[in-house]
Chains A and B, each alone.
Chain A
Amino acid sequence: MNSITHELPLRAAPHAHDRSSVDRIMLKVCLALSPATAYGLYLFGWPAIILFVVTLLAAVATEALCLRLAGLPLQRLLDGSALLTGWLYAATLPPWAPWWIGAGGVAFGLIVGKHLYGGIGQNLFNPAMLARVAVLISFPVQLTTWVNPMPLGSELAPGFVDALAIIFANADYAAHLSAAPSGVDAMTGASWLGASKVAVGAGTDVGQWLAADFPLTAAFSGHIRGSLGETSALLILVGGLWLIWARVISWHIPASMLGMLSLCAWLASHFNGHLFPGPLFQLTTGAAMLGAFFIATDYVTSPASATGKLLFGAGCGLLLFTIRSWGSFPEGVAFAVLFMNALTPLIDRFIKPRAYGRTLGGKTLKHSDMRKIV
């Protein structure tokens, strides 16, 4: 018998592959995130850079520790999923948050949100958003302190040493600056979403207030108070569209999420402009863009079918609008996405693509259905 030994383990067909891989996908997502994040790092200077690096390092360290404990090969680190989780989490943080918010949060997210469930691909909730929600509820003060943009190299921007003090020693840089002879206006403030909420609470006419104060162009381009990596709606949009073009994500979730948010905002502001900001405000502030393109589209925790994705995105949009408009938290992306994450298994179970030769309900196509087009 002239039996041959196959060099590769015996496998059923196919014996060909398109060369895609998990690490390449993760790399592309990181690449798409980088313009917006780089802009954010530039805008908020050294403290943001330090926070970002610390968070990413903590993410990788946590992942390594968990893989070790689970007895899995450390090569799994190379798939880049932990890096991406850390990156997304850092992008939603206030740029000058203390280091332990970044490191502790991402460790919590990865351990509780991902590795307790068995690691990559098995988590039920988006680890980055779980981390954010847990930290937001536990440390609301640190998570709602926003600095004004102070680009690297500008007059007010803290130097590297100051930045270390801000991030690691919780130094009050704002007080330090305003005590300086030059005299500076308030360095920190509420995010625009928070401010709008306060305005509503105070009985201000939101429509007029926004028309007067809200810098729409700056919000779109990103020169605005906000989280580390989500200020620039434009750069996120560019990155997100590239991801769609590169077929890393599909258009369904971003389109339906942003569409639903805009629709709700438009209807609400159309009927009651005194109370509800319009769609442009909703789209350019907070994590709406980042959420739609990078967070809600997380493969593991979003539905598999196109219809399911549309439903998922619409749910996110609707919940986001609801929480922003009536909830006690000014921003709701994390809550909305996590809530829809929880519904994803049900969506996947009940909404499947129509199979060839079957109706949407799974029944065999009838002859009469066929004749219609003959």
Chain B
Amino acid sequence: MEGLSDVLHGLSGCLAFVGYAPWALPQSGGFCRPRGRKTAQNRWHRKCNFAPQRPDVPATGWPLRPLGVPVEYVLILISTTLVNNIVLVKFLGLCPLMGVSSNLSAAWGMSLATTFVLTLSALASWLIEHWLLVPLHIEFLRILSFILVIAATVQFTEGLVRKASPALHKSLGIYLPLITTNCAVLGVALLNITQEHNLSESLVYGFGSAVGFSVVMVMFAGLRERLALATVPALFSGAPISLVTAGVLSLVFMGFGGMI
């Protein structure tokens, strides 16, 4: 019963989008970020956190800060967690998904570590791009310098985890330093640049991708814990059935397609 009330609570937040949708849907067929956000009008709207008034749209009276944050950030969050999930839709970060998802606690630890690294590196890479590479016209160093920053963040995280929980450190094993080469981390940093996100959007995008990664990790770990007790045919036991399951999950996430 408590579960239900939680869902209802969450629902009330989600329903707030209903008010947003009326003018967004007809033009784009779904949730959409207002385009042309470099215009003065949009700057203003971001500052005031109100949508530009459109005469052709019936007024709904819904405030446009349903969860206390500007709608576009929420949209980025939803987009990155579900619709354009970094793992199941963009197929980045499959290595830890396969490697560290055999039990829930390790998957949770990995999710936290990755969330930390992803968010931090999204921030750091944006700063490096816009404060260092662009002013000095050395954008060709982008990948190299991003990797450097990511590696440093991971190193930092590893020290942190080792100090905080030796057992978690042990169970994450090689996958912790391998976050460095987790394509999701570099991918998000680069996507932030190509999608011309500003600093706060980059941060939300990084965090949202990490949440998406964590959702899939935890979900997948739950499935694998159940799989561990199943009598999977020998031919498919282990990695094959996990990959099949990941494939099915990816199929399922296609259901969210077209929302944003």
Contacts and interface: CB of A to CB of B under 8 A. Distances in A.
3 smallest beta-carbon distances between A and B, as pairs:
A328-B258, A335-B255, A345-B222
A70 B233 contact: yes
Q: Which of A260, A264, A274, A345 has the most CB of B within 10 A?
A: A345
B44 interface: no
Contact of A327 (B62, B219, B225, B256): B256
Interface residues of A, number: 56
Contacts of A268: 15, 18
A310 B4 contact: yes
B250 to A, nearest CB: 10
Given A274-B58, A335-B252, A112 B18 contact: no
B60 A272 contact: yes
A130 B248 contact: yes
Interface string A304-330: 000110110011001100110011110
Interface string A331-365: 01011101100110111010100000000000000
Nearest to A270: B18
Given A267-B18, A274-B22, A342-B219, A118 B230 contact: yes
Contacts of A275: 21-22, 25
Interface string B5-26: 0011001001100110110011
A9 interface: no
22 contacts: A116-B241, A117-B230, A119-B231, A122-B230, A124-B226, A133-B252, A137-B251, A200-B25, A267-B15, A271-B60, A274-B58, A311-B4, A318-B11, A327-B255, A329-B257, A335-B255, A338-B248, A338-B251, A342-B219, A345-B223, A345-B226, A346-B218
Given A124-B226, A271-B19, 7 more contacts: A112-B244, A118-B230, A203-B26, A307-B2, A332-B255, A342-B219, A345-B226
Contacts of B25: 200, 275, 326
A272 B18 contact: yes
Interface residues of B, number: 48
Nearest to B241: A116
A338 B222 contact: no
A96 interface: no
Contacts of B2: 307
Given A271-B18, A308-B3, A351-B3, A124 B26 contact: no
B251 A307 contact: no
Contact of A329 (B4, B26, B58, B255): B255
A326 B233 contact: no
B30 interface: yes
A264 B3 contact: no
B167 interface: no
B254 interface: yes
Interface of A: 70, 112-113, 115-119, 122, 124-125, 130, 133-134, 137, 200-201, 203, 256, 260, 263-264, 267-268, 271-272, 274-276, 307-308, 310-311, 314-315, 318-319, 322-323, 326-329, 332, 334-336, 338-339, 342-343, 345-347, 349, 351
Q: Which of B232, B248, B252, B257 has the most CB of A within 10 A?
A: B252
A339 B232 contact: no
Contact of B252 (A116, A203, A314, A342): A342
Nearest to A125: B248
Interface in B219-260: 219, 222-223, 225-227, 230-233, 236, 241, 244-245, 248-249, 251-259
B29 interface: yes
B219 A343 contact: yes
A248 to B, nearest CB: 23
B31 interface: yes
Contacts of B136: none
B60 A326 contact: no
Interface of B: 1-4, 7-8, 11, 14-15, 18-19, 21-22, 25-26, 29-31, 58, 60, 62, 104, 218-219, 222-223, 225-227, 230-233, 236, 241, 244-245, 248-249, 251-259
Contact of B222 (A112, A314, A349): A349
A264 B11 contact: yes
B1 A338 contact: no
A267 B256 CA distance: 21
B7 A318 contact: yes
Contacts of B14: 318, 322
Contacts of B231: 118-119, 122
Contacts of A263: 11
A345 B245 CA distance: 13
B79 to A, nearest CB: 12
Contacts of A318: 7, 11, 14
Contacts of A347: 3
B236 to A, nearest CB: 5
Nearest to B6: A311
B249 A342 contact: yes
B109 to A, nearest CB: 16
A133 B241 contact: no
B253 to A, nearest CB: 8
A116 B249 CA distance: 15
A301 to B, nearest CB: 10
B60 A124 contact: no
A12 to B, nearest CB: 21
A275 B17 CA distance: 13
Contacts of A274: 22, 58
B226 A201 contact: no
Contacts of A322: 14, 259
A267 B60 CA distance: 13
A1 to B, nearest CB: 40
Contacts of A334: 255
